[in-house]
């Protein structure tokens, strides 16, 4: 269905050529007139879960989608669609967590809209958060640093920017959000050790840019790390090779994945970023990220390669495994 | 419920003071760093109705909300939440009408998001459209013209800008959207003569600004003309007096309202704008608007008054009727 939708959308909504990062790029955000602009609807179920709720998810998802383009998020919009009779106490809790995350990120909600629909027309509540961001000197300086090491003619940190030799950093444990949600929903019991990683990454990302040499960033949400790497490999037209032993995975997530027969690489995250950096700066950027709470378990997990296409992983036992592009996320209504 | 939500939202999401038009203003759009930003979720039922569908509604609502601030809309986002099994043909029709209206307005959809939820979790499909707009020389020149006639220290066309003497223009027939929808839904039969007025107003609004002297604009959607005038009167702290004989109402809408016992002033419109203009320029602006197809039935319907508060109407028989602030829109799921 997603494929059909994508075809249908692209057929009718082709963008004019003056747009820096158009709809067709299917990147984390669009860029027009140096304004970074993104949108996300949230249908997560249940609304409250270990480590977060639909409110924190709404704020962080959008803050992160803007930040990974290399921009500074400056404002959010918030749309609610609410089923009649929804608990005002729960709504208040959701708004409280929106307020908290917005304050944490330093990005205000400046405009909103609320629609109430009759009972039965919607399961509880869904949200939409859009956001805008702007170019900063930090991004300009980061790009200048990239250009000291290799040719680079881009203004934004797009999915298509990776080149052979670039190193790939993951900012911390993967799979936490999806496993926390799935386990809580199904009662598997892993949620005692695994909580969602929902967090606004704009401050950590600003530090990474200060390090310099960053060519691309992406938050590995639906479809997880595997999806991010495939988007990058496909749009950049080079292969990516990663090292299984380097990928930070929490023990509880690993056990849950083994028990459930799902691949942690395919599971959505909400507080992680994957960073492509010129090789000369990879260790510097890693070191800076590791000074932050949200990035203390960051690792360099691989690199971009000219001698292959797609995504491959050197396994713990030394073999080479092809990493498939996930068809979707194994956990439904994850965000 | 709307009141409770508003209180709850304001409590948690107070805006910092550096925002030109903050959340608290509850205006059509917010303004931050000279970027105009707005959002609307759409839950209209049925999805297709005489004169439009949820697609055209999504585009026009957002284009108009940006335009009435005096800005030029430059880009839209589009979020879909779709019930599993929703007809791809219908989705394609909706996207086609989004494409058409986006082309008509000259405002591209640059970013989007699609979530599919399981059957029964949502009735068919809802959308969210956010949009951004920018300041233009047209707005600066319009404000300069206002300043030739009276004191005016505002950068944007806000709800609070009205002052005694300002004239009120309505750009055409009111109530069409609500009556078309209600009649079609309930099978009253008025829809043969009344169609929704959904239309992007940015081009007509640009012409009005060219005329000069515009101090405020608002699209009278939910709660209709009465709601718009009450918002203006309340935020500007002056009264508004209108003339019943001057208000453009289509005969079919008038009959429908009489039959159904609802007030056309309270019914939502999707292709109309209410314009506050300094009195010296009101006739000029009216004349310009009347040259357009979307504004050919425009009229000056009243003025801002110092000697009263709230909204009052001189009736056809010469009496004075207080116009109540509508509690909501008499037609549910109108947009």
How far apart, in whole angstroms, are the C-alpha atoms of residue A40 and residue B37? 15
Closest CA to B325 of B201, B222, B173, B186: B222
Tell me what the mean pLDDT of segment A26-53 comes to. 96
The tokens for A36 are 């970074």
Residue A192 is predicted with a pLDDT of 75
Give the number of beta-carbon pairs within 8 Å between A and B: 219
Residue B9 is predicted with a pLDDT of 85
Per-residue pLDDT reduced to its tens digit, B209-258: 999 999 999 999 999 999 999 999 999 999 999 999 999 999 999 999 99
Residue B1 is predicted with a pLDDT of 64
pTM of the predicted model, to two decimals? 0.96
- B172 SS3 class: coil
Residue in A13, A77, A113 closest to B98 by CB: A13
The answer to whether the CB atoms of A95 and B8 lie below 8 A apart is yes
* Strand ranges, E, within B70-228: 72-83, 109-117, 125-134, 167-170, 214-218
Chain B CB contacts of A117 below 8 Å:
43, 123, 333
**Strands A35-42 and A125-134: what pairing?**
antiparallel
Its CATH architecture, for the domain B2-322, is Alpha-Beta Complex (3.90)
Does position A5 have pLDDT exceeding 80, yes or no? no
| A261: alpha, beta or left? (left if phi > 0; alpha if psi -120 to 50) | left
Closest CA to A13 of B200, B322, B111, B275: B111
Chain B CB contacts of A79 below 8 Å:
39-41, 79, 128, 130
What confidence tier does A157 reach under pLDDT thresholds 50, 70, 90? very high
Per-residue pLDDT reduced to its tens digit, A81-101: 999 999 999 999 999 999 999
Residue B174 is predicted with a pLDDT of 98
Q: How many CA atoms lie within 13 A of A329 on its CB side?
A: 24
Burial class (CB in 10 A: 0-12, 13-18, 19+), B266: buried
Residue B305 is predicted with a pLDDT of 98
Chain A CB contacts of B88 below 8 Å:
1, 4, 8
Residue A1 is predicted with a pLDDT of 64
Tell me what the mean pLDDT of segment A36-53 comes to. 97
Residue in A1, A45, A121 closest to B116 by CB: A1
Residue A2 is predicted with a pLDDT of 67
Per-residue pLDDT reduced to its tens digit, A222-238: 999 999 999 999 999 99
Residue A304 is predicted with a pLDDT of 98
Average pLDDT over chain A, rounded to an integer: 95
Per-residue pLDDT reduced to its tens digit, A177-187: 999 999 999 99
Question: If you search the block for the tokens 């809802």, which residue do you land on?
Answer: B126
Distances, alpha carbon A275 to alpha carbons A29, A152, B98, in Å: 16, 16, 35
- A300 CA: distance to closest CA in chain B (Å): 30
CA angle A273-A300-A69, nearest 5°? 30
The answer to whether the CB atoms of B113 and A39 lie below 8 A apart is yes
Residue in A30, A35, A115 closest to B43 by CB: A115
Does position B328 have pLDDT exceeding 80, yes or no? no
The answer to whether the CB atoms of B79 and A41 lie below 8 A apart is yes
Tell me what the mean pLDDT of segment A57-80 comes to. 98
How far apart, in whole angstroms, are the C-alpha atoms of residue B2 and residue B273? 24
Contacts of A41 (CB under 8 A, 6+ apart): A126, A127, A128, B79, B80, B81, B113, B114, B115, B128
How far apart, in whole angstroms, are the C-alpha atoms of residue A216 and residue B87? 37
Backbone angles phi, psi at A204, to 5 degrees: -65, -40
**Strands B109-117 and A30-32: what pairing?**
unpaired
Per-residue pLDDT reduced to its tens digit, B133-162: 999 999 999 999 999 999 999 999 999 999
Q: Would you call the peptide bond into A46 cis, given omega within 30 degrees of 0 as the criterion?
A: yes
Residue B7 is predicted with a pLDDT of 83
- B139 CA: distance to closest CA in chain A (Å): 18
Q: Would you call the peptide bond into B46 cis, given omega within 30 degrees of 0 as the criterion?
A: yes
- B239 SS3 class: strand
Name the CA dihedral angle for B309, B312, B318, B319, rounded to a multiple of 10 degrees: -80
Distances, alpha carbon A126 to alpha carbons A65, B145, B174, in Å: 19, 44, 32
């Amino acid at each position: 269905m997603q494929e059909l939708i994508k075809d249908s959308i692209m057929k009718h909504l082709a963008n004019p050529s003056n747009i820096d990062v158009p709809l067709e790029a299917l990147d984390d955000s669009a860029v027009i007139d140096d304004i970074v602009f993104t949108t996300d609807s949230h249908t997560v179920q249940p609304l409250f879960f270990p480590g977060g709720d639909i409110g924190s998810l709404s704020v962080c998802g959008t803050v992160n989608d803007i930040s990974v383009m290399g921009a500074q998020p400056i404002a959010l919009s918030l749309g609610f669609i609410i089923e009649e009779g929804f608990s005002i106490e729960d709504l208040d809790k959701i708004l409280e967590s929106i307020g908290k995350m917005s304050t944490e990120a330093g990005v205000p909600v400046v405009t909103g809209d609320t629609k109430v629909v009759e009972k039965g027309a919607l399961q509880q509540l869904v949200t939409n958060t859009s956001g805008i961001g702007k170019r900063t000197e930090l991004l300009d300086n980061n790009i200048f640093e990239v250009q000291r090491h290799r040719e680079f003619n881009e203004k934004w940190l797009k999915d298509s920017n990776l080149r052979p030799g670039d190193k790939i950093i993951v900012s911390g444990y993967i799979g936490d959000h999806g496993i926390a949600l799935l386990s809580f929903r199904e009662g598997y019991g892993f949620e005692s050790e695994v909580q969602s990683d929902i967090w606004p990454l704009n401050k950590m990302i600003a530090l990474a840019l200060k390090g310099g040499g960053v060519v691309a960033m992406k938050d590995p949400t639906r479809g997880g790390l595997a999806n991010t790497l495939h988007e990058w490999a496909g749009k950049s037209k080079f292969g990516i090779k990663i090292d299984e032993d380097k990928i930070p995975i929490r023990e509880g997530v690993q056990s849950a994945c083994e028990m459930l027969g799902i691949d942690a690489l395919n599971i959505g995250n909400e507080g992680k970023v994957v960073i492509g950096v010129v090789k000369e700066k990879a260790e510097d950027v890693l070191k800076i990220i590791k000074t932050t709470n949200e990035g203390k378990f960051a690792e360099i997990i691989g690199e971009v390669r000219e001698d292959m296409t797609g995504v491959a992983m050197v396994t713990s036992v030394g073999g080479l495994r092809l990493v498939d592009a996930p068809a979707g996320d194994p956990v439904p209504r994850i965000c």
